[in-house]
A and B are shown apart, each in its own frame.
Chain A
Amino acid sequence: MDTKNKNQKAIEVSNLIKRFRELTAVDCISFVVEKGEVFGFLGPNGAGRTTTIRMLIGLAKPTGGRAKIFGFDIQTEIIEAKRKMGIVPETSNVYDDLSAWDNLIFTAQLYGVSGSAANRKTEEFLKMFGLFDRRNYKVRDFSKGMKRKLAIAMGLVNDPQLLFLDEPTSGLDVESSSTIKKTINNLSKQGITIFLTTHNIEEANKNCDRVAIINHGKIVAIDTPEKLKNTIQSVQSVEVSFDKTVPFQEMSSLKEFSFIGKIEKLGDKYKIFTNKPEETLSILWDWSRRNKLKIVSLNTFGPSLEEVFIKLTKEK
């Protein structure tokens, strides 16, 4: 069966549809995730993101279309497809009344890993996530971050080739969040394909090779983060700060130039949105000299992935 794995895409989705009576939650979407890729799947609440994942992991039946995981059809070969996956849902669905050790051993056994192999893997992952010293404690007393780490360890215990990570850092403190981001990077280096859903656009920007944006059940964009940003060059910006406080009204006089759009005050800085950054820099230089101001810092920015996300999800 594993021969089927060769030369297969990690995920192939074609014309996938999910309807709940009159509501079309997922509307004929198609995309491919390559092996070893970190693929971000973004979308606002109710866009069809969770429904798509639930279909891919076998928790929901598609109304139409097809999807394959490493060549295994999710409708006819779901058991084989599930063997390739590790799943870390948004809710850390760990068993509060079991110890961390028992949670991992149980998950290993669900995936056919038993005996010494299960013990070895359990020990390895508990150490990797810094939970080994608390292995015999009931999970009920764990913090949210510790439960999250345990849930990720449970998603990895079967050595998956494809890991579904749903909002991995949502609601976590900075330290736990940083540990989990490092783990994602390490897993990616090991060649594990990662299907990442997140509300944190910056997280997707930093971690993902490609992202897809879903809205109203349709894929509205799919590309690398940088290429997506280039699709909306009109929201480039220049950020400038001066040696003296400059009133907002004075700064607003720059709006007389047609290529300058919105101007925002950000603390001691001003953010000037423009579709011509070079001309804006030259104007700013002249303007500061005329007003006897010294420029302390000057940076140009392309559009952020967040701006792309907002633009695409509001537009369509």
Chain B
Amino acid sequence: MSKKNIKNNLLAVWAITKKDVKIYYLKPSTLMFGIMFPLFMFFAFAVGRNMAPAILIPGLISLMVLFSASSIGPVAIPTERRVKTFERLVSAPISFYSIILGKALGGVLFSLFVSLIVLLAAWTFLGVVIANPLILALGLALASLCFSILGIMFAMFPTENPGDVMMMLNFIRLPLMFISGVFIPLENLPSWGKLISLFSPLTYANDLFRLGLGADIYFNFTVNLIMLLLFVGIFSFVGIKVNDKFKK
């Protein structure tokens, strides 16, 4: 790819992100959903279980990142397919990877915004200390990208109905909460649970957040980083392949 092509693709990525932020992410209903849904879901499982802040806060951030990053893409893409604006993107002289990246970045920015609110609240009201700010920032960015692309991967199924995508996505997303060390630390899981947790990107994201907030971790930094990158690659690849398969 020539320098001009790279520049054009980057310009298009940023244009798609800005457009999505304006149309979808800045809507009051989206902002409310992004914050309230994971928060209440967390309370539903955490209240009354006497969890230590070292487990509670990384778990809350994990849920925030998972749901805020992966929720809008699966709604926006089928909707754009229905009103034919998705064709505008696909018929532009840019690679399909740029479209996916542009769409994913909107989810990343939204997820980072929501996580920052949680962190700020945890710091103000619970006195939580951020032990490794760089690791936490990297973990947040990478996990947001990973879950945003997870949502987009499901949105590649050629439907014009957002409900179809959300149903498939929730079939994967909801079980992830219970097998990734969010509510039950990995070391307390039975051996079959530990084995299943290896296939969840939320496991590695949660572990990185714990490291960032100074809590004990199950894996190490490098393993978490590589595994999240691997999931980003797998979800992108599968998304492109699904799109190619259904391209009529």
Contact = CB atoms under 8 A, between A and B. Distances in A.
15 contacts: A58-B91, A59-B90, A59-B247, A60-B247, A61-B247, A91-B84, A93-B85, A93-B87, A95-B19, A97-B22, A106-B15, A109-B12, A109-B14, A112-B11, A112-B93
Contacts of B87: 59, 89, 93
Contacts of A91: 83-84
B195 to A, nearest CB: 40
Interface residues of B, number: 27
Contacts of A96: 83
Contact of B92 (A20, A102, A111, A114): A111
Contacts of A54: 248
Interface in B68-109: 83-85, 87-95
A137 to B, nearest CB: 15
Interface string B5-19: 101100110111011
Given A110-B12, A110-B94, A79 B89 contact: no
Given A109-B11, A110-B15, A114-B11, A95 B85 contact: yes
B19 A20 contact: no
Given A97-B22, A102-B22, A79 B95 contact: yes
A66 interface: no
B31 to A, nearest CB: 15
A107 interface: yes
Interface of B is mostly: helix
B247 A79 contact: no
* Tier of interface size on chain A: 20 to 34
Contact of A87 (B16, B85, B91, B94): B91
A82 interface: yes
B8 to A, nearest CB: 4
B11 A98 contact: no
A222 interface: no
B19 A57 contact: no
B20 to A, nearest CB: 10
Contacts of B89: 110
Nearest to A82: B93
B121 to A, nearest CB: 30
A95 B11 contact: no
A49 to B, nearest CB: 15
A60 B248 contact: yes
Nearest to B85: A93
Interface in A144-158: 154
B32 interface: no
B23 interface: yes
Contacts of B16: 110
B75 to A, nearest CB: 13
Contacts of B11: 109, 112, 114
Contact of A109 (B15, B22, B91, B248): B15
A110 B248 contact: no
A83 interface: yes
Contacts of A106: 15, 18-19
Given A79-B95, A82-B92, A110-B89, A98 B247 contact: no
Interface string A29-68: 0000000000000000000000000100111110000000
A59 B84 CA distance: 12
Interface in B205-236: none
* Nearest 8 Cβ contacts at the A-B interface: A112-B8, A109-B15, A82-B93, A93-B84, A110-B92, A83-B93, A97-B23, A91-B84
A295 B27 CA distance: 70
Interface string A83-127: 101010101011111100010001101111010000000000000
Contact of A98 (B4, B22, B92, B93): B22
Contacts of A112: 4, 7-8, 11-12, 93
Nearest to A95: B85
Contacts of A114: 11
Contacts of B90: 58-59
